Amino acid sequence: MVTVKSQLGEDGQIEISVNDTGPGLPQGKADQIFDAFFTTKPQGSGMGLAILEQIQCSHPGSLSPSIPTVSEFCARTLLPPRQSRENSRLD
């Protein structure tokens, strides 16, 4: 099962986490998880984590994948808060 969660941190950063409690990654495949079209699922598109990485690369934030258990994967990204229109105007 895949769960996507977002929340606002105390410092104003946006935290997005993607948790997958599927069968886990085959040994030696962890370095491929952000490659487009890489999947371990018969019906998977392999785009979820590739898209998450692209979102993170478009913003000054951080992306931290982890494998808490053999059958669980979590990718967490932190994004800076969006500036208000007043603060982002170029005069």
Architecture of domain 2-88: 2-Layer Sandwich (3.30)
Note the pLDDT of residue 83. 64
- The arithmetic mean of pLDDT across residues 17-41, rounded, is 81
47-66 residue pLDDT tens = 877 887 887 777 777 777 77
Note the pLDDT of residue 85. 42
| Whole-number Å distance between alpha carbons of 54 and 59 | 9
62-74 residue pLDDT tens = 777 776 666 677 7
Enumerate the domain spans of the chain. 2-88
The phi, psi pair for 25, rounded to 5°, reads -95, 140
22-31 residue pLDDT tens = 777 777 887 8
Predicted model pTM: 0.58
